[in-house]
Structure 1
Amino acid sequence: MVVAVIIGCEIAFWVLLGAGLVARYPLRRPRLGAALLVCVPLVDLALLAASVIDLRRGATAGVSHGLAAAYLGFSVAFGHSMVRWADQRFAHRFAGGPPPVRPPRYALAHSRHSWRVRAKALLGWAVACALLGAAILWVNDAERTRELGNWIRSLTVVILIWLVAFPVWETMFPRRPKR
């Protein structure tokens, strides 16, 4: 059940985002567009509710529950940025807005931007691990929540590799403007 809800929530995220942007720009209904965009985080709450209900009914936590927590964590961290990214492009294309802001490509500005993205990833990791930890404590059954502990370990390994590998790569091979 949780896998279907995750897929449904991902679809609902993009449908609400698209509907909000269409209402805001081509239809020139900014208040309706804003209302639809404000509903985007409600998709995350629906996913959280579905996971809680499933565990409450006695389900053994599986990969889908871990994936739901990871989805929620990274949606909290990157959701606003994704909406802003889409809004800039939609405004430029359909409302004569300025061209979208591109991330810096070189030197210190690129490094600052990369570290902001890493900070968001850390926030996503922290929220996901907090949700997983809360579920483990709430269910209070090591046998039923073993998979959630595995998710915490996996997410931690991935974020550590990402936090170490990319700064080392950028230091060894910095981007330089074309001549």
Structure 2
Amino acid sequence: MVPKVESGREIEAVVQAVREAQTAPKVWALIESPRGIVGLPGIVHTPGLAGVLFGAADYAAVAGCQLTSRAMWYPRAQLVTAAAAGLPAVDSPYFCLEDQDGLRRDALEAVEMGFVGKVAVHPCQLSVIAQAFAPSLRELEAARAVLDAASEAGSSITTVDGAMVGPPLVKAALDVVRRAGHSPAVTTTPVMKAS
């Protein structure tokens, strides 16, 4: 993990050093400043980068803002959006160890925003984070209904419970099923056409 990354050059240097050392660790960028957020387009396209993490505490200190959910919406959204080009994005830790309800809310918000995980600063946080990132039974059932309908429809757009189902919803359903650790009923997203 490379801390305080603000440009792709920093990742390039680490990837080069790792290659020269003949080891194969995965290089992750820790984005902890407004400059890092602004530099995300160049950072996420750096060859050899395995993923990105958000460092909210350092970001808040540099930006002069509070370390609250609302103050972090913009940088978190920017990180997830930039990483959507094919990299996993992991959310910042929740620092109040005694506040399990706050951790749960923060982790569920991270899931909603599109993060694939959340950093834990203490083992007591692991089960809450794991539960938040695991789809609920209701989400899993809805995803399976979408995949079943898409499979039956073949190359046509279809509906589930009165809602249109097309390629973006099929992809989202596949992601939910994979997040649950189950094999999806549909392994590829069919090209959908209106019939």
- TM-score norm. by structure 1 comes to 0.30
| Higher RCO (Cα < 8 Å, 6 or more apart) | 1
Provide TM-score, normalisation by structure 2.
0.29
**Greater share of strand:** 2
